[in-house]
A and B are shown apart, each in its own frame.
Chain A
Amino acid sequence: DAGVIQSPRHEVTEMGQEVTLRCKPISGHNSLFWYRQTMMRGLELLIYFNNNVPIDDSGMPEDRFSAKMPNASFSTLKIQPSEPRDSAVYFCASSSNQWSSGNTIYFGEGSWLTVV
């Protein structure tokens, strides 16, 4: 399995622009997570989908952030408009709900976002 695949790996954009981050979870996994990592706040859960349905979006910072999962193999995280404080590494992760594989969450390589 190729693992969780994210794109783009790196993005530099100007303040006010729209940013779209993409994620393909591991095939067969039915939970998908978007995390944001910064030095100050560590790994923060932004949103969690189960079977393509958003279950918990309490971590989404504000209305500028939105996430979708139109099917089991694709999710997007969108920031519009972007601000410099959104600069961070955004990780997509997936897991299986099967007890035998536990709640093990597998991370993608991350999307490094810089907003100038």
Chain B
Amino acid sequence: GENVEQHPSTLSVQEGDSAVIKCTYSDSASNYFPWYKQELGKRPQLIIDIRSNVGEKKDQRIAVTLNKTAKHFSLHITETQPEDSAVYFCAANSGYSTLTFGKGTMLLVSP
């Protein structure tokens, strides 16, 4: 099955800095890579996703890049704000419909 590794486990940045979270996956058949944000006590919510037919996708301050050859993908957050503080999970699809999640990255943005 799919195995997703996520780094770092914690990340502290100053407000306005950029943050980068990296993930690797094992199954070359995976073709869908979403990122979820989970605030304290809340549910994980999708913030951006990318499919294997593109290498990069942007949505305002967040972007995701995908390198299928190396089997890794990354989340980039620019101009970080305190409200970006949360746990971020990467995931890759396993089989037709299921997702395997990374262990999560706790991002802390200090004012």
Instruction: List chain A positions with a Cβ less than 8 A from chain B.
Output: 31, 33, 42-43, 45, 48, 50, 56, 91, 95, 97, 102-110
Contacts of A102 in B (CB 8 A): 32, 34, 49, 51
Q: How large is the interface on B (under 10, 10 to 19, 20 to 34, 35 or more residues)?
A: 20 to 34
> Judging by beta carbons under 8 Å apart, are B43 and A104 in contact?
no
Apart from A45-B99, A102-B32, list 6 A-B contacts with CB within 8 A.
A33-B98, A42-B103, A43-B101, A95-B97, A103-B97, A105-B34
Chain B stretch 26-58: residues in CB contact (< 8 A) with chain A:
32, 34, 42-46, 49, 51
Contact residues of A: prevailing secondary structure: strand
Q: How many angstroms from the CA of A110 to the CA of B46 in the assembled complex?
A: 15
Best-buried of B32, B89, B98, B102 by chain A (most CB within 10 Å)? B98
